[in-house]
Structure 1
Amino acid sequence: MSRTNSTSRAVALTMGLLLILSLLAGVCPASAGEPAGSGPDSAQRLSGDWSTHQPGASTWYAFEYAGDSSQVTIRLQAEPPDSLAFGVWTPGNVRDWRLGLKAEPVGRGSPDSGSPGRLAWSGSFTVAGTYYVVVEGQGGQSETSYYLLEIEGTGVTLSAPAPTPTPTPRAQPAGSGSRPAAAPPAGRLVFQTSMGGPIYVVNADGSELRRLTDGMDPTWSPDGREVAFARWRDPRGIWVIAADGSNEWRAFDWGEARWPSWSPDGSQILFSRQYGGRTDETERCFWGFCFTLPAHPHWKLGIVRTADGEFREPKAPNYCLAPTWSPILDDGSSRLLYADEQGLKVQNEDASVAYFITRDSRDTSPVWSSDGSRVAFTRRQHDHWEVYVADADGRNPRRLTDTPVRADGELGNSAAPAWSPDGQYLAFLTDRSGKWEIWIMRADGTQQKPMFPGGLGGISLDYASLGERAISWTR
């Protein structure tokens, strides 16, 4: 018997065993919710075994890459030959896809000249993070296929990353571990109606509603006397206005700046601004093969001192969205928190301390609790938004909202959380009723209800899914 025949018989035997196991298991997902491997949220880790692939399916695999420019080699052997294909997705590609932007894999498998019937791809990257390989049918796959996927490289880790040790945030009050009974919500909210639309102020009980100005991403100063916001109509930039609507002035002149956040002492404002990167779609061609790279502008951190306009750039990556400045922590320091292409990242200004609290590129709009012990944020659930909370060191992540399907059959959303000054409540936007409203819940996710059941004087709200920080709450 030839070696080729022996190999074919072994492959056939493996396929038969896989088919039997699939029938016995009912081809059910391993856990409730999204089936394993059906998207980046549930991407599988490579097992090294042959797998089955059903017509019309896509199977996602995740691997970690060190970002050290070392070579990554991916190979796919399929039976029947030519029935499957694969694409390679970077963290940035996946983030754009989750945001609903035009996104394509950075590479696709092509015939391996050294092994007929097998597809291969090789390349390298300079950004560390979670990368993906997506196996799909091709050529009108009409029956079950079987495949063996291999991912190799010195900078490749096939297992999920271990949690990164981080500094200990401010401790919670001693006691039984349960939170004290919450007092009725108090204080004032500032909120935007839409991106660049009117900004309003209202008391937590719904009284004294009044228009303040127009812009986006409004946020209270630590003493509650001023509001910083971004404006994209001329004159553009980061602006400040007194809480009573007087003394509106521009703190920083820039065409496209967003997400202002005050320093703990109120003397400086952190923000992100579009600066450099690939601002337009770009066509690239190699060896007769042409493809279009989507726009991927840089969003760089900036800090401006309000007293004299002095500006500086923290040492940070080129892609920092929705930045926010922490309160003073137990060690006397403060931290910057933002969404980058791999998840939510915390660092000090010179980046000598830097760590991730989540490793999910869907996460955006993070906000610190007033004592710095927790972070609330918005996460994309493949096709809708939900509100999450985690300890400031990334431990104990919890989903707080499970937005019901709306009366019109569309999936509801919950987004843009804002902490109450005492840390007992979260206000957030939701469209579960069929229109966007401000709702409120306890910090543990219970008692979700409209914050202003009588409405807001006919004011309409909108959420553009652009990571907007739509609400801010002060004393």
Structure 2
Amino acid sequence: MKLFRIAALLVVLWILGVGVSMAAGGGPGDAIYADGSAQTVAPHAELWFRFDYGGTNKEVNVTLDANDASALRLNIYTPQAIAAWQDGESLKKIGEGSPVQNHDLGWSGRFNFPGTFYAVVYNDGDAPMTVNVRATGEDVTTGKQTTAPGPTSIPNPFPHNTPVGKGIAGKLAFLDAQGGNLYTVNGDGTNLRRVSFGMDPQWNHAGTLIALARQGPTAGIFTVNADGSSDGIHPHERLLYATSEPRSPDWSPDDAQLVFARQTALKGGGTICFGARCFDVPVESQWKLGLLDASDGAYGDVPTTNHAFTPTWNPSDATKIAYNDKAIGVIVTSTDETPSFEPIIGDLRPGVGTYDPLKILSPQYSPDGKYIVLMVAQPPTWQIAIANADGSSDGIHPHRHLLTSLNNLDFTHANNVAPVWSPDGTKILFLSDRNQTTGGLSKWELFTMNADGSNVQQVLKNVSDQISLNYSYQGERMLSWAK
């Protein structure tokens, strides 16, 4: 019985470890400082901001600015209200924003007690909104200020000055945030335009349509005319398949089908007790892959494990689709035969001979189907690696190797994320937060490198200077590169 209890407890702990990280601003625990930086609020969603207050009864001002605030609400919550809410009571606001001079919404107040206060933006509209929320006041801090002079800043003795390139060949589709605005831009930075909103955009091979997922207000897989046009017969965008919690559509090599991930079931929940000790068992979400006919949306299942994310279709073999099981590794399934559920890259299953504790996100086949680029955890960062698509090692090239890495001598450690291939397979485009703003904050920007990791260059700086990019480490596809 004792062994059973230990085993059951290990299962509970393992389930707790399989969760998906949430985007910043999702709640009090990861609220964003209200420092006025641009942030995107997804449709029918909320975004949490915080500010710290000393309790001196001096005035606090919270303002919100947006292009259109008609569908936005701004509520203010005290530390006590949050504590009561976390104990099961209803969430009670202390105030709400209203139109004020020079700002779309504003709120002012005073408190005679210190703590962390929260400003929450609610987007009741059907489109993502970029907002600037700022808390100001003599006794307000938002993460940038210090109450006393700090030590003199020492320049990084090992700076990495990445050269700025001229651009990329072809055209780019990109998001400003998960569930946010979808833009297209030419590779030289011209013709920047917003065309839609959603998640995980992917060009078709012809460069005429972009597939994307939405989880609200109408959830499903959509296709969007890449130029934003409508010819009077075919709409600008089309709901191909309605389903809850869809993610990561990818096109077949002939553009006739789409594969995507979706949440299919919720398992578990309840309580497990061992004598007087009880544990809440979290609900486990199951994710499977589905196939869609790109012309009529006809649906079919794809055999996978119960945690299938970020599918990628092999361009050179239309029967092979790779996906990431976050509890195992990268697995290849088949559309025409019984697939294997053995991982080809990484293996998080404890106790097996192939155990390889590699945390992976965002695998993608190269255009020739020979390689897979992916993100790998390199604590405290995420980096980009490449692997042979069949998981093999030829004696010269290892099973996988890093294309980017962190320098332990650096004062800050940059993340390199969201890799995608160029259409010809010679380059990889990715996001990195290696550069800092004048205020010392990290900033997501666009970079390219050769397929072997050499010749790293910053690209499309005029785009990232205009539009704030936000990556949330949920394996989201932020970029898609077309001819």
Q: Are the structure 2 counterparts of residues 305 and 359 from structure 1 closer, same or farther at C-alpha, using a change threshold of 3 Å?
A: same
Q: Once the two structures are superposed, what CA deviation does each residue of 1:279-315 show, in whole Å capped at 9, x if it has no partner?
A: 8x53222444311223320111111112222111112
Partner of 1:421: 423
1-side partners of 2:434 and 2:408: how far apart?
7
Matches within 5 A, 1:301-450: 301-329=289-317, 333-340=318-325, 341-349=327-335, 352-354=338-340, 355-361=342-348, 362-395=359-392, 396=398, 397-403=400-406, 409-433=411-435, 434-450=442-458
Task: Give the one of 271, 275, 292 matched to 2:260.
Answer: 271
Q: Could you tell me which amino acid in structure 1 is paired with residue 382 of structure 2?
A: W
Q: Once the two structures are superposed, what CA deviation does each residue of 1:103-139 show, in whole Å capped at 9, x if it has no partner?
A: xxxxxxxxxxxxxxxxxxxxxxxxxxxxxxxxxxxxx
2-side partners of 1:97 and 1:464: how far apart?
11
Asked if 1:296 is matched to 2:284, the reply is yes
8 Å CA contact 1:343, 1:357 repeated in 2: yes
Partner of 2:222: 239
8 Å CA contact 2:445, 2:464 repeated in 1: no
Matches within 5 A, 1:24-423: 93-96=16-19, 185-246=168-229, 247-278=236-267, 282-329=270-317, 333-340=318-325, 341-349=327-335, 352-354=338-340, 355-361=342-348, 362-395=359-392, 396=398, 397-403=400-406, 409-423=411-425
2-side partners of 1:320 and 1:269: how far apart?
15
Q: Once the two structures are superposed, what CA deviation does each residue of 1:236-277 show, in whole Å capped at 9, x if it has no partner?
A: 211100111132011110121000011111111111111112
8 Å CA contact 2:446, 2:464 repeated in 1: no
Q: Could you tell me which amino acid in structure 2 is paired with residue 439 of structure 1?
A: F
What is the CA-CA distance between 1:230 and the residue it aligns to? 0.8
Q: Are the structure 2 counterparts of residues 100 and 215 from structure 1 closer, same or farther at C-alpha, using a change threshold of 3 Å?
A: closer
8 Å CA contact 2:167, 2:460 repeated in 1: no
Q: Could you tell me which amino acid in structure 2 is paired with residue 226 of structure 1?
A: L
Q: Are the structure 2 counterparts of residues 100 and 278 from structure 1 closer, same or farther at C-alpha, using a change threshold of 3 Å?
A: farther
2-side partners of 1:97 and 1:264: how far apart?
30
1-side partners of 2:457 and 2:12: how far apart?
39
1-side partners of 2:14 and 2:391: how far apart?
20
8 Å CA contact 2:12, 2:281 repeated in 1: no
Q: Are the structure 2 counterparts of residues 230 and 291 from structure 1 closer, same or farther at C-alpha, using a change threshold of 3 Å?
A: same
Q: Could you tell me which amino acid in structure 2 is paired with residue 359 of structure 1?
A: G
What is the CA-CA distance between 1:325 and the residue it aligns to? 1.2
2-side partners of 1:468 and 1:320: how far apart?
14
Q: Could you tell me which amino acid in structure 2 is paired with residue 204 of structure 1?
A: G
What is the CA-CA distance between 1:440 and the residue it aligns to? 0.7
Q: Could you tell me which amino acid in structure 1 is paired with residue 292 of structure 2?
A: V
Q: Helix, strand or coil: the match of 1:460?
A: coil
Q: Are the structure 2 counterparts of residues 439 and 184 from structure 1 closer, same or farther at C-alpha, using a change threshold of 3 Å?
A: closer
2-side partners of 1:210 and 1:404: how far apart?
37
2-side partners of 1:460 and 1:405: how far apart?
28
1-side partners of 2:22 and 2:380: how far apart?
9
8 Å CA contact 1:365, 1:469 repeated in 2: yes
2-side partners of 1:426 and 1:185: how far apart?
10
8 Å CA contact 1:91, 1:342 repeated in 2: no
Q: Helix, strand or coil: the match of 2:345?
A: coil
Q: Helix, strand or coil: the match of 1:454?
A: helix
2-side partners of 1:448 and 1:92: how far apart?
38
Q: Could you tell me which amino acid in structure 1 is paired with residue 247 of structure 2?
A: R
2-side partners of 1:404 and 1:242: how far apart?
42
Q: Could you tell me which amino acid in structure 2 is paired with residue 378 of structure 1?
A: M
1-side partners of 2:296 and 2:244: how far apart?
20
2-side partners of 1:405 and 1:203: how far apart?
36
Q: Could you tell me which amino acid in structure 1 is paired with residue 423 of structure 2?
A: P
* Stretches of structure 1 lacking an aligned partner (at least 5 in a row): 1-70, 76-85, 102-182
Give the greater-gyration-radius structure (CA).
1
Q: Helix, strand or coil: the match of 2:476?
A: coil
Q: Helix, strand or coil: the match of 2:19?
A: helix
Q: Once the two structures are superposed, what CA deviation does each residue of 1:164-212 show, in whole Å capped at 9, x if it has no partner?
A: xxxxxxxxxxxxxxxxxxx984111111110111111112222222111
8 Å CA contact 2:5, 2:274 repeated in 1: no
Q: Could you tell me which amino acid in structure 1 is paired with residue 345 of structure 2?
A: T
Partner of 2:123: none
8 Å CA contact 2:303, 2:339 repeated in 1: no
Partner of 2:162: none
Kindly tell me the number of residue pairs found equivalent between the two proteins.
Answer: 309
Q: Once the two structures are superposed, what CA deviation does each residue of 1:328-370 show, in whole Å capped at 9, x if it has no partner?
A: 33xxx43111111200111212552424221245111111111
What is the CA-CA distance between 1:382 and the residue it aligns to? 3.3
